[in-house]
A = this chain, B = another copy of it.
Amino acid sequence: MRDTLLPKRIALPVFASDAMSSVAYAPQEVFLVLSVAGISAYSLAPWVGLAVAVVLLVVVAAYRQNVHAYPSGGGDYEVATVNLGPTAGVTVGAALLVDYVLTVAVSVTAAAENIGSAVPFVHDHKLLFCLVGIVLVAAVNLRGVRESGVLMAVPTYAFILGMIVMLTWGFAQVFVLGRDLEASTAGYELVAEQSDLTSLALVFLVARSFSSGCAALTGVEAISNGVPAFQKPKSRNAATTLVMLGTVAVVLLLGIVVLAQRMHAKYVMDPATELAGLPDGYRQMSILAQLAESVFAGFPFGFYFITVVTALILLLAANTAFNGFPVLGSVLAHDRYLPRQLLTRGDRLAFSNGIVFLAVAAMAFVVAFDGEVTALIQLYIVGVFVSFTLGQTGMTRHWTRLLRTETDPDARSRMVRARVIAVIAMVMTGSVLVVVLLTKFTEGAWIAIVAMVALFVLMKLINRHYRSVQRELQAAAERDDGVLPSRTHSIVLVSSLLLPTVRALRYARATRPDVLEAVTVNVDDRETRTLVANWEDSDIDIPLKVIASPYRDVTRPVITYVRRVRRESPRDVITVFIPEYVVGHWWEQILHNQSALRLKTRLLFEPGVMVTSVPWQLASSKQAALRQEETFFAPGDTRRGFGAVGRKENR
């Protein structure tokens, strides 16, 4: 599928930008939720971060098993379908489709927030930045620029490097140099909304904070979908890359949370009411920007570097969704849950439709939630955890099934261990899903669920349609007598004796039908008389029939005529040859072929009738064909990739 296989050092940035970039928004959401209970609750942040890190590591461990067991790149959809049946698979599919839309929306708004921390203009026009960002990423994907792995590697590694430098230098200042590093928000006082929380309410709040933090797990599944793109040994390399991703993500996540808490950084929903002592015109900065500002105090390049590479990796994460969406669409189309044409990813139109759909849906979400990361996060992780939970349930079944037949003790012990991991991951992700649903349902998660259910129903209906067609065809095949048509009866539609018609007659003659006749519809007496006279003068020896048309209509008389022919000899196959002009511009299309087009569409409804278009390429069509060629055949593609395999050459 891909032209080149990726080494680990390129695969990491290609597949991990989504997961990696999550640390740009997940930690601050933890602080934001805890803010409600006042500054004392901030001390819980590292523990919440640790809980998220544990779930992250468990999920990484679980996906290492997936990568070995299902190396085809089908991901959780395949695992769920194979082990739990199609309904579970479609559920995962619907969850992931919604998730792609939200990945774009969340990543772009988070990018806007981080850039906005450094550039006030972006902060003040966040929505505009988000929409332009989505349009740009969509445009790049529509243009079909094949993303170069190396090009994607640069911002990802720059991000990792920048973060590690920042965290290292930050911790060094605090713990080694003993400096009193303070965030710019350290001086403001947190106004607790509910300072006297009951312990139950506090548990709920911590659970919500944890739910938000779990946004750090989004994107982990990307590597398991990308196994086929890895260099060999594919599964092992993918598994190793997963561990690399997990390690980096956990380090960054914990580092950010701990350092931010140590520096008394604050991040709240609404600074005006939740922070006291603010200066006029205060703009809240993202947690990352707050860290960078203080750690790199006196070194503004560091601050700008962090905000820019953070925004870049977030846009890259959005781009990943634009890559993944058509792939998932193709897989779902293959199983007939989406229209068949989505199957062929090389099909530019279907591909474009997918990209436009994704962009429009993401923009709708961004606009509906006014470009607020926090609002969008509430919807976000439901899909991911539905997918995780069903995927790991599937893996548990998978290992149980294999264990039933496996006898080799070594293999069995590996399987048992894998099953233990799957069960732990299933229980853990399932619990997180429950926590997320409990703490976020009314906050917006219900919207994501409604979207998933709608997609689920739609896909089921599409599948039902395809299956009913399948059944119809099978029933017809059973009734089929296998007899060949006895004769061919060819009808050439004629409206003039111009060359396109003459050529249609020649072509029709070349197919040597049993009956060949030309038919013209008399829509204008004078023209018809001229045509008949010219016909008789010409050397054409094909009989011309004139069909009357009381309302100067073409379609109706031809249909009636074809039906009569069919009634008279029901075992014949009728071929209607329609000469057609091929033009280069849409406005030329308006001036030609309209009657032919309508007639063709209508004739297809008649059983036992084939419709043959005999095209005549007008000069303007050749330029159009050249134009199409340029976008249609990518450079160098024309010759490559064509390899006919002859079979049964005997006739």
Contacts and interface: CB of A to CB of B under 8 A. Distances in A.
A595 B499 contact: no
A194 B417 CA distance: 105
A618 to B, nearest CB: 6
Interface stretch (A37-45, A248-256, A469-477): A469-477
B548 A637 contact: no
A344 to B, nearest CB: 4
A609 interface: yes
Interface stretch (A114-122, A272-280, A333-341): A333-341
A586 interface: no
Contacts of A592: 340, 469
A167 B607 CA distance: 66
Given A511-B488, A647-B545, A347 B591 contact: no
Interface residues of A, number: 112
A10 interface: no
B615 A609 contact: yes
Contacts of A346: 549-553, 556
A334 B551 CA distance: 15
B621 A613 contact: no
B498 A510 contact: no
Interface string A516-540: 1000000110000000100110000
Interface string A606-617: 110111111101
Interface string A68-82: 000000000000000
Given A476-B499, A536-B648, A642 B330 contact: no
Interface in A310-347: 330, 334, 339-341, 343-347
Tell me what chain A mostly uses at the interface: helix, strand, loop, or mixed: mixed
Interface stretch (A20-28, A123-131, A354-362, A573-581): A573-581
Given A485-B506, A610-B613, A644-B561, A651 B344 contact: no
Interface in A567-623: 573, 575, 577, 580-582, 588, 590-592, 594-595, 598, 600, 602, 604-607, 609-615, 617-619, 621
A229 to B, nearest CB: 15
Interface in A329-387: 330, 334, 339-341, 343-350
A547 B346 CA distance: 15
A552 B152 CA distance: 25
A480 B499 contact: yes
B344 A546 contact: no
A499 B617 CA distance: 33
A472 B613 contact: no
Contact of A344 (B536, B544, B553): B553
Q: How many copies of this chain are found per oligomer?
A: 2
A557 interface: yes
A619 B472 contact: yes
A297 interface: no
A645 to B, nearest CB: 4
Contact of A560 (B348, B506, B546, B638): B638
A532 B509 CA distance: 33
Contacts of A649: 543
A465 B588 contact: yes
A541 interface: yes
Nearest to A588: B465
A136 interface: no
Interface stretch (A184-192, A418-426, A624-632): A624-632
B484 A644 contact: no
Contacts of A414: none
A594 B338 CA distance: 13
Contact of A484 (B341, B510, B582): B510
> Which 5 A-B residue pairs are closest in the complex by CB-CB distance?
A346-B551, A346-B553, A550-B641, A341-B594, A604-B615
Given A480-B502, A543-B646, 15 more contacts: A340-B592, A343-B523, A343-B524, A344-B554, A346-B556, A462-B591, A476-B499, A477-B498, A488-B510, A511-B511, A548-B641, A557-B641, A582-B604, A610-B612, A610-B615
